Amino acid sequence: MGATTKKTEATGVDYSTLNVWAKLLGVRSEFYGAGAKKTGRNIHAEFMYFELVDIVPVAEELFAKYGLLLIPSFTETAAVAEVINIHDPGEKITFSIPLQFIAEPGKFRMNEVQGVGAVVTYYRRYLYMIVLDLVESDGIDGQKPSNDGEDTPPPAPKTTRKAPATPKERKEIKAQLTESEGQATELQISGLKTALKKLLELDPEQESLHRRRTYPVGTQPQHPPERPR
């Protein structure tokens, strides 16, 4: 009470005459100017946020200055914060957040007591943020998209049309086709067909070369054979 009276005398404002809404408005307007800094860092979404330790010391000093008391509590379904006017305890503002299960990160292992403490700390931070109307980066927009099997499927890979064979490529393939001497084996014939198919894919205009290499001179059929498939 003495601290509140001292602040009132120094500023010329009698905070005890203000209602709970006017007091909370004053606390909110002074919070950022009181030196609160964000020390938490979200390494995935790349933004800074208020840790509970960043908020409480600054907020409690302002609550004491204006004559307010914040009392957090928990029910089976909600986290609740009551802001009470200590000069008129009948005046209070109530804030609440629905309780939700918080999944434990896979790299951490906590016992039951530690798990309860983590939940309490988490919700206390958000209660203070609501009471003080603190602004942070949007927690939903800042998240990376999850892959739960129902997302839009990735686009099909782009196909690029092959360019016609260059003179150098045609020369290399021709050399491969004419290197062997004597009667070709079954393995050589299979390799020959593969090489011919590659050549036709690179440059369909080489059909005449395909006919000359597949059939000896004077034995070519009257109608050109089908291209290898």
Average pLDDT, integer, range 138-143: 50
| pLDDT, position 149 | 47
* Percent above pLDDT 70 for the chain: 59
Average pLDDT, integer, range 69-94: 95
Regarding predicted confidence, which is higher, 3 or 187? 187
Average pLDDT, integer, range 156-162: 65
Q: How many CB atoms lie within 10 A of CB 225?
A: 12
Average pLDDT, integer, range 73-93: 95
Contacts of 66 (CB under 8 A, 6+ apart): 4, 15, 18, 23, 24, 26, 27
| pLDDT, position 41 | 76
The amino acid at residue 159 is: T
Distances from the Cα of 113 to the Cαs of 51, 98, 119, in angstroms? 21, 21, 10
192 in Cβ contact with 228 (< 8 Å): no
Whether the per-residue pLDDT at 1 is higher than 80: the answer is no
pLDDT digits (tens, 9 = 90+) for 8-59: 555 678 999 999 999 999 999 999 888 778 877 777 767 777 888 889 999 9
| Residues recorded for the chain | 229
DSSP-derived pairing of the beta strands 47-49 and 68-74:
unpaired
Q: What's the whole-model pTM score?
A: 0.53
| pLDDT, position 105 | 57
Of the pLDDT bands very low, low, confident and very high (cuts 50, 70, 90), residue 182 is low
Of the pLDDT bands very low, low, confident and very high (cuts 50, 70, 90), residue 74 is very high
Identify which of 201, 204, 198, 207 has the alpha carbon closest to the alpha carbon of residue 225. Answer: 207
pLDDT digits (tens, 9 = 90+) for 84-104: 999 999 999 999 999 886 665
Residue with the two structure tokens 């005890």:
16
The amino acid at residue 185 is: T
| pLDDT, position 33 | 84
| pLDDT, position 224 | 54
